[in-house]
Amino acid sequence: MNRITKTAFGLASGLLATTALSNVAAAEDLTLCWAAWDPANALVELSKDFTKETGIGMKFEFVPWTNYADRFLNELNSKGKLCDLIIGDSQWIGGSAENGHYVKLNDFFDKEGIKMSDFVDATVVGYSQWPKNTPNYWSLPAFGDVVGWTYRKDWFANPDIQKAFKEKYGRGLAVPATFAELKDIAEFFQKREIDGKTVYGASIYTERGSEGVTMGVMDVLYSFGFKYENPDKPYEMDGFVNSDKSVAGLEFYKALYDCCTPPGASNSYMGEGIDAFKSGQVALHMNFAFTWPGLQKDESVGGDKVGFFANPKGPDGEQFAQLGGQGISVVAYSDKQDAALKYIKWFATADVQKKWWSLGGFSCLKAVVEDPGFAASQPYAQTFLDSMAIVKDFWAEPSYASLLQASQKRFHDYVVAGQGTAKEALDGLVKDWTEVFEDDGKM
């Protein structure tokens, strides 16, 4: 997801809410709506080439993540004309398709020879299709993202720390292959003194207000065997959402929170995680991949001090990760749909996508990410590839907001507030989600 609403994280800089790229007459300008963050800065730079090639001016309406969903979903629901193009959350696809907010792109793709098979399969399903796994396309994959991990590579390589870890666990300190190993590492570092400073094990998602704790919990539950529904009977959730494996995963997440997070971590999401890692508080850091370029460049903890790894395996060897990212869509209420489609066509080309990656955008085009040189192009590139190969995503139903509110409450109440048991939390979630789908007439 990446997402529905988010904690402000202070990565975007020097970015005005609305940015014009040319002096082309206002009637010819397109307005693209997205979130205010570093990738948006990269898109402004990239889009200068579009204006040079077409003469079409670009304006940008960028809104902080804390207000992103409210601002733009209200705009779409009111059939507003502010946005000609929108980079909307993956979770918006169902509602935007069924409510007529986005232009269906199938005929345009066919006419222009744009093939969805040219994009990473998971991003097509996650960002473009509704219904899922059908050839109905409402967006072009724009920004690939996924939850993964950063770690203090320099601490892991320290001979004294290595020795102490091996004495305690009987193995070398290395990137964890399983969640059990990850918890060992987090426990080992919890309240350890390094360079005269007390450090902690891991920064994980616990935020209650938007989507944070759900993104963190699901990132772990998938690898423990959680399923949203019966594969043979859609919307049948009892025995799947609340399976024994799901319960074990939720218990693990709470145990990781209880044992190994830094002080004040009861409402932590992306920004708080970035701060914890940059300040040298934690050895392990759960976060979306979009944070990796900034952390790699950080003067204090970047360079040779930082490493990256994909989500580990669960108890039975399953390995999945929470999808992030967004697609770019043409807004159905725009009076400039032809020009907006020209932007989509331009953005889909290989040369533009290669430059997008070089500027800090996470391309979803196979020609970019499957290039032999891609894995070595950035220290985190291989981890991005590994992570995108194992993604799953939250519900993309039109009622996703109600589904999300339920999981936020159930997970936070159990993981952070310590209310009830994991089984009770998941049983309650089945009840909540069932009511949503019954109200929708889907059960």
pLDDT in tens, 274-305: 999 999 999 999 999 999 999 999 999 999 99
Token readout for 163 is: 């020795």
Confidence of residue 66 (pLDDT cuts 50, 70, 90): confident
Kindly tell me if the per-residue pLDDT of 352 is higher than 70: yes
Kindly tell me if the per-residue pLDDT of 7 is higher than 60: no
Length in residues, the chain? 443
Query: What pLDDT, on the 0 to 100 scale, is given for residue 6?
Result: 35
Q: Does domain 147-322 have CATH number 3.20.20.330?
A: no
Kindly tell me if the per-residue pLDDT of 346 is higher than 60: yes
Q: What is the DSSP string of 87-146?
A: EEEGGGHHHHHHTT-B---HHHHHHHT--GGGB-HHHIIIIIBSSTTSS-BS-EEEEEEE
Kindly tell me if the per-residue pLDDT of 4 is higher than 70: no
Query: What pLDDT, on the 0 to 100 scale, is given for residue 1?
Result: 53
Query: What pLDDT, on the 0 to 100 scale, is given for residue 67?
Result: 87
Instruction: Examine domains 18-145+325-392 and 147-322 and report if their fold is the same.
Output: yes
Over the chain, what is the mean pLDDT?
93
What Å distances lie between residue 232 and 161, 226, 228, 235, 443, CA to CA? 49, 15, 12, 10, 14
Kindly tell me if the per-residue pLDDT of 10 is higher than 60: no
CA–chain centroid gap for 439, Å, is 28
Query: Among residues 143, 83, 97, 29, which one has the least CA distance to residue 331?
Result: 83
Kindly tell me if the per-residue pLDDT of 9 is higher than 60: no
Distance between CA atoms of residues 160 and 77, nearest Å: 58
In the 8-state DSSP scheme, what is residue 303? G
pLDDT mean over 12-16: 38
pTM score = 0.91
Q: Where are the domains of the chain?
A: 18-145+325-392, 147-322
Distance between CA atoms of residues 335 and 333, nearest Å: 7
Category of 239 on φ-ψ map: left (φ > 0), alpha (ψ -120 to 50) or beta: left
Q: How far apart are the first and last CA of the chain?
A: 25
Kind and range of the H or E run holding 312: none
For helices 212-224 and 400-415, give the axis angle rounded to 10 degrees. Answer: 80
Residue with the larger pLDDT of the pair 5 and 166? 166
Query: What pLDDT, on the 0 to 100 scale, is given for residue 166?
Result: 98
Which residue has 């050839």 as its token pair? Answer: 135
pLDDT in tens, 382-399: 999 999 999 999 999 999
Residue 130: what residue type? Answer: W
Tell me if 212 sits within 8 A of 269, measured CB to CB: yes
Token readout for 158 is: 């320290």
What Å distances lie between residue 316 and 98, 108, 284, CA to CA? 38, 44, 23
Kindly tell me if the per-residue pLDDT of 176 is higher than 90: yes
pLDDT mean over 238-246: 98
pLDDT in tens, 78-137: 999 999 999 999 889 999 999 999 999 999 999 999 999 999 999 999 999 999 999 999
Residue with the larger pLDDT of the pair 18 and 197? 197
Q: What angle do CA 305, 309, 313 make, to 5 degrees?
A: 145
Q: Provide the pairing of β-strand 140-152 with 282-288.
A: antiparallel
Q: Does domain 18-145+325-392 have CATH number 3.40.190.10?
A: yes
pLDDT mean over 63-83: 93
pLDDT mean over 3-27: 40
pLDDT mean over 197-212: 96
Kindly tell me if the per-residue pLDDT of 23 is higher than 70: no
Helix residue ranges, H only, 140-192: 153-157, 159-169, 179-189
Query: What pLDDT, on the 0 to 100 scale, is given for residue 65?
Result: 84
What Å distances lie between residue 44 and 60, 325, 357, 368, CA to CA? 8, 18, 14, 20
pLDDT mean over 170-187: 98
Query: What pLDDT, on the 0 to 100 scale, is given for residue 27?
Result: 52
